[in-house]
Amino acid sequence: MKKFDPSREIQYLKQFGEFGGVNPAITDSSTFTFLGAKTMVDTFEGEAEGCFLYSRHWNPMNKYLADALAAMEGTEAGWVTGSGMAAITCTILEICNSGDHIISSITTYGGTYAFLMNYLPKFNIDVTLVDITDLEAVKAAIRPNTKIIYTETLTNPLLQVSDIPALAKISNANNIKLVVDNTFSPMMVAPYSLGAHVVVYSMTKFINGKNDCVAGAICADADFINSIIDVNTGTAMLLGPVIDPLRSSSILKNLHTLHIRMKQHSFNAAFLAKKFNEVGMKTSYPGLPAHPGHDILTKMMNPKFGYGGIIAIDVGTAEIAANFMEAMQSKGVGYLAVSLGYFKTLFSNSGSSTSSEVPIETQKEMGLTPGLVRYSVGLDNDIEDTWTRIEESLRETGIIK
């Protein structure tokens, strides 16, 4: 069977500008005029195909971007948000009512962790954290009121691999929605085609790839997207985390180069992961055959995009990590910065930055060590030269001899 090719789906979209521009025109309007009063009423009732009402609901430029993302994901529909957190929180609040229960991977992005553990108790929504690679633990955590199994395809920052088809099977058998954050692996993995019900993204990362904005996306079937933007009850419509159409336009243009960028990120990361391994560093990269999730990811992957651009290594302590990262920055390896998916290499010490919301005890439980340095490997044309600089930094800071 021919595997799904997300880049092809985007390539064959026909999205023209108003005057034939090759890029769709930005509609710089928050509200829209109606030539007939009845059409406005019909639009409010969701019965006027092709009419726009108000840009918190839909703006034509946001629709172009959402359509392109839905094509990439193989979903019927999509919706774009002002941040990845908006996509995650709106999805969860749309599915869950007060008194419901969520099963989540214990390793998730720190902001998601904080939302699940610190914010949802306000609504009496309970969360059980599990090792998402332990399918028996997932099954054992199911309660009659469980509404969501939440995970990331590749978890942040430990790079555990979620077995999406297996989790989908468990979800379907128990009438639970499987929500997957695919931020680390766009193009590489298409979670919806593997059985996920809702796919969420921080587009801030690889999808946009320029670190010039914060944005998010939700991809799902049309019923779910329609429910989330329902004018009377939809979480996204009522909380209003919409993205500016000017920004959607620039993200859409960047989306068209995502397939090339993912290949280069993967190529460079695979090279560095191998080198880290060779010099004896404790290295987590799903492209290494020794990675516990390697075989599962290999089965789930769309061809040709590689194993992604994120690597985690362990240098021992947070103090050594700080010295090492400063050394790498001064040698031009990249920037000491949070976030990922940028054209330059970024590195950070997860325990003291993007996962600092996670209590130390839980960090220990999930296996997040204080000396973990997460790399988002850039698009460097000469990755051997980058390695030389990293190796010098490792030696200078006494990590290797």
The site for ligand PLP (CB under 6 A) is made up of 83-85, 109, 111-112, 152, 156, 181, 183, 202, 204, 214, 216, 339, 354
Residue type, 335: Y
Residue 340 Cβ, how far from ligand PLP at the closest point, in Å?
Answer: 7
Between 73 and 383, CB nearer to ligand PLP: 73
Residue 152 Cβ, how far from ligand PLP at the closest point, in Å?
Answer: 5
Between 329 and 353, CB nearer to ligand PLP: 353
Total Cβ atoms within 10 A of residue 136: 9
Between 91 and 249, CB nearer to ligand PLP: 91
Residue type, 286: P
Between 181 and 314, CB nearer to ligand PLP: 181
Between 83 and 193, CB nearer to ligand PLP: 83
> Any idea what DSSP says for residue 31?
B
Residue 111 Cβ, how far from ligand PLP at the closest point, in Å?
Answer: 5
> Any idea what DSSP says for residue 243?
P
- Tell me the C-alpha distance between 121 and 98, whole Å: 9
Residue 50 Cβ, how far from ligand PLP at the closest point, in Å?
Answer: 30
Angle value at C-alpha 182, between 56 and 151, nearest 5 degrees: 105
Sorted by sequence, the CB contacts under 8 Å of residue 345 that are 6+ apart come out as: 333, 334, 335, 375, 376, 377, 378, 380, 386
Residue 140 Cβ, how far from ligand PLP at the closest point, in Å?
Answer: 25
> Any idea what DSSP says for residue 54?
B
Give counts: helices (H), strands (E), the chain: 15, 12
Tell me the β-bridge partners of 218: 79, 200
Between 60 and 245, CB nearer to ligand PLP: 245
Between 24 and 84, CB nearer to ligand PLP: 84
Between 24 and 351, CB nearer to ligand PLP: 351
Which residue's structure tokens are 């946009």?
Answer: 208
- Could you give the count of Cα atoms lying within 13 Å of 215 in the half-sphere of its Cβ? 29
Residue 374 Cβ, how far from ligand PLP at the closest point, in Å?
Answer: 10
Q: Which residue is nearest to ligand PLP (CB)?
A: 84
Residue 42 Cβ, how far from ligand PLP at the closest point, in Å?
Answer: 35
* Token pair recorded at residue 366: 């999930």
Tell me the β-bridge partners of 199: 180, 219
Between 186 and 245, CB nearer to ligand PLP: 186
- DSSP per residue over 337-384, as a string? -S----SSEEEEEGGGTTTTTS-HHHHHHHT--TTEEEEE----S-HH
Residue 220 Cβ, how far from ligand PLP at the closest point, in Å?
Answer: 17
Between 159 and 333, CB nearer to ligand PLP: 159
Residue 183 Cβ, how far from ligand PLP at the closest point, in Å?
Answer: 4
- Tell me the C-alpha distance between 282 and 24, whole Å: 47
Residue 390 Cβ, how far from ligand PLP at the closest point, in Å?
Answer: 22
Which helix (H) or strand (E) covers residue 146, if one does? Answer: strand 146-152
Strand order in the sheet with 146-152: 77-81, 216-220, 198-202, 177-181, 146-152, 101-105, 126-130
